[in-house]
Chain A
Amino acid sequence: MSTAISTNKADKVNPAVKSTAYRAKRRFIIISLVPILLLFGVFAFLPIAWSLGLSAFKYDPLSSNAIFVGAENYIRMFQDSIFLKSLWVTFKFVFIAVLINIVITLLIASAIQRVRIPWLKNGFRTIFFLPTIAPLAGTAIVWNTMFNYNDGLFNMILAKMNMAPIQWLSDPHYALYSVIMMTLWADIGYNIVLFIAGLDSIPDMYYEAATLEGAGRWHVFLHITLPLLRRTLLFVSITTVVSYFQAFPQFQIMTKGGPFNETRVLSLQIYEQAFSSSNMGYASAMATVFLMIILLVTLLQLRWGRTQWEH
């Protein structure tokens, strides 16, 4: 409304002043947006279209001639047992890791939120948050040494407890769970902070009312905390799912997809097909499937979240 008043005033004062101001604004918009849009165009819009296009070609950057193959890459993909396995492993990883992540971060956040001494509360939050700021590649390497069969920290602890050592990263039964363990250690800080913020925004009066009515702790959590935390919960679950689908450094550094492809997630498979085997067309087709999965999962989560709110 204020805009309307001020431009009206300018109109009455001097139309010439207004038009030069208008032209200056126009110039400002063009000068500032053109370089920014150019960057978005070259490094975001163009690659998306290119990737979709590339998935219909057999393309090896070394021989540099692209052969149009239509849907062949997609057909090949669904007969490729390694690709299918990588899909399965990706879903398994995301499902297990996200589920455990949300349960433990919610527990830790509620525990930290109960702490009433500010410096202690901050201290706890910092301790859980510190691992998240370390480079994931570094964390993966450090955990690699801890997972070592002969002199790694974990097997030393098992030995102290008189238990048999475990091939953490090379036993097909344990490899994926070892990576999940490391991922959770490296990543839970974010969600803890987000949950604490969400919990802090719930007004105390709800809890006071519930206590007056004699509700138990579990009852309060189920019927007050969880419903009021739904927004945070939806946000946290979407961002975590999307980021875990893209998890890469820990797999590339710790297991390289092995043993027996038990940790070959889709993002690793796309990377290796594109840059180790130079099958860029085939890798692009996988990337398209990857994109579809992420869009679908996000939409489903949003829809699920919305129907939950309506009740």
Chain B
Amino acid sequence: MDIVSGSAGFFPSKPSLDGYRTVFSEAPFVTWLLNSLMTSVIITVVTLFTSALAGYVFAKHQFRGKKLLFILILATMMIPFQVIMIPTYLITAELGLVNHLLAIILPNLVSSYGVFLAKQFIEEIPQELLEAARMDGSGEFRLMLRIVMPLILPMLSALGIFTFMNSWNNYLWPLIVLNDESKMTVPLALVYFNGTHQVNYNVVMSAAVLITIPVIIMFLIFQKQFIKGLAMTGMK
């Protein structure tokens, strides 16, 4: 955004909204926005849930092989996406999901980082609190939803913001798995506009502004949690 206004000063031409009009009229831009919004929201909501659930199990329950499983999950944090993208593509193709939004959603419903963070935070919750609720006849799921999740809300909101942003901005995986124009997400859309409107900067810039605005709004609303979350989790 800064650049757009910056370069606008450099070209003293009359401002117009033509770029935006082209973006909406020449391409299914609304569909792309909705694709991005839908996948990002689903991924965020489910990831928060699975992270809290797995974190709760690993922090407060005992079972055989727990330590090994946890280490295995942690180990996946170290694996760069480029290493697993080829088999992940083959698996997705095997499942018949190429060019389907589920291909974006399904591999991203769990986060090893999320499980790790949730476990760290849930371990701090005093056992007495959980026992008291169990005495009152709460089932484990209710306990997780009603007691554990509210107590780790600051951590969950930080994780949620980063999950949403990463999913909204993700470029490499959608590039591999989505070719169909109607299925694209917004980062791909931008590249599409760049390919078809290389001379017409203002169309590309308008698209860039439009796809950046949602994350900027998110950032401005959650700025405090964002900064705190980054310092807390160091997520990138």
Contact = CB atoms under 8 A, between A and B. Distances in A.
Interface size class of B (residues with CB under 8 A): 35 or more
Given A51-B87, A133-B219, A135-B168, A29 B134 contact: no
A197 B231 contact: yes
B7 A146 contact: yes
Contacts of B151: none
A29 B61 CA distance: 8
Interface string B182-224: 0000111011001000000100110110011001101100010
A308 interface: no
B45 interface: no
Given A44-B84, A47-B88, A6 B131 contact: yes
A283 B141 contact: no
Contacts of A248: 82, 171-172
A144 B3 CA distance: 12
Interface of A: 2-3, 6, 21, 24-26, 28-29, 32-33, 35-37, 39-40, 42-48, 50-51, 54, 61, 125-126, 129-131, 133-138, 141-146, 153, 156, 190, 193-194, 196-197, 235, 239, 242-243, 245-246, 248-249, 252-253, 266-267, 270-271, 274-275, 280, 283-284, 287-288, 290-291, 294-295, 298
Given A21-B134, A126-B223, A142-B3, 13 more contacts: A3-B131, A29-B61, A45-B72, A47-B86, A50-B90, A51-B83, A145-B205, A146-B7, A271-B85, A271-B176, A280-B90, A294-B80, A295-B78
A65 to B, nearest CB: 14
B27 interface: no
Contacts of B17: none
B61 A290 contact: no
B12 interface: no
Nearest 8 interchain pairs by C-beta = A197-B231, A50-B87, A47-B84, A47-B87, A28-B140, A137-B187, A135-B169, A43-B107
> Which of B78, B83, B131 has the largest count of A CB atoms less than 10 A from its CB?
B83
Contacts of A24: 139-140
B80 A246 contact: yes
Given A2-B131, A153-B7, A290-B82, A29 B63 contact: yes
B171 A291 contact: no
Contacts of B53: 32, 36
Interface in B7-26: 7, 10
Contacts of A291: 79-80, 83
A252 B191 CA distance: 10
A228 B201 CA distance: 47
B230 interface: yes
Contacts of B56: 32
B73 A137 contact: no
A133 B76 contact: no
A235 B168 CA distance: 25
Contacts of B6: 153
B124 interface: no
B227 interface: yes
A245 B79 CA distance: 12
